[in-house]
Structure 1
Amino acid sequence: MSNSRHAINCIPVDEWAPSLRELQGSPLPTDRALGVQWDSEKDEFLFQLQLLETTATRGGILSSLASLYDPMGFVAPWLLPGKILLHDLCRKMVTSDETLCEADRKTWQGRWLSLSKLGDIRLPRSIRGMHKGEQSELHIFADASEVGYGVVAYGCSSRPVGRDYNSILFAKARVAL
């Protein structure tokens, strides 16, 4: 799979993947790369979630959070509040199939609704390389509180003429113990 039609056309058609043979002349497909969806036509990562309404239990929350595979940490800010709630439920010794109290259930519903908005996020896949006259920098930000901590790394490049470019490279968030 490639997002370059020129590269695809350099390969004999009989060696193309079956999914590409059907697309001659059509937009390139969305595929999986690095654990997330990749729109190869626009060269962007996107998050197509199929969040099912889960029961308001600790096990239901765990199942929902575990279903979101995010190795690059792009959606870490949306997952952390749910993980904090899960941590609090464990601390309260709530069992996996026990129905949550009203306050915890409302908290989870709010988190679940924010997770459902992840389908609107699109991030550019490309990371610009260093070109003549271009200055590239790595920016790393970290923050912590009593309940969680996180870090994010951005690649930033600026050109003497033209637009600056920033790209998220990696992020992580953890529940504080």
Structure 2
Amino acid sequence: MSIDVFTFRIVLKDKPFNRHGVLYVVASIYDPLGYLSPVTLIAKILLQEMCQRKLSWDEEMSADELLHHFANASQTGYGVVSYLHVIGVNRKIHCNLIIGRARVAPLKRTTIPRLELTAAAIAAQMDSKLKTELDLKLAPSVFWTDSTSVLKYLRNALVKYQTFVDNRVNLIRDTYDIMACRYINTSVNPADLASRGLSICYFLQSSLLFSGPDFLKKDETHWPTMP
């Protein structure tokens, strides 16, 4: 059985983060019917903000941009989701999903804290990769977990852990400032969705997964604190 579908093939070249670069990206997307309007609108808003700031065509825009990584694990799997958090003109905040990973828990039983720590280590690896791949000037990243055990592992520098834990703790410490590793309640942790799985219906309707928790759209004073 054959079906009719619309597809888009977009090849983006590395461009500077200025009006020339953003305009090139917008103009390179051929979408006469406007199917990609919700996506291209973000780039057009950014271009508009550059114009409002009266930046020259070759002047790069400086915005506060940082990566937020969320990690979580369950008995069935563990997952990580990463977001780019941009504070633009007039402190307007944009937050969008960049990449996600979900893996099935190993058949050999292991503890939830160890799975949580494994997810946290994957988040650290993703952070390093994204910083290499993204052609952006990024502020220090923030790591979020709903596991107080993971946070205790990271903040306890006096204990010598077993090899499994020690390797992952050192990987995370080498990636993040420990004070940038923060607690989030499971109910608003988008990585919880990645670790447990979603039906396609809920997936398509999940604003939490695609845009991140609502607190990221507010000032840092509204972010969750340690319990």
Taking structure 1 as the reference length, the TM-score comes to 0.36
Asked which structure has the greater CA Rg, the reply is 1
Structure ranking higher in strand proportion: 1
Structure ranking higher in helix proportion: 2
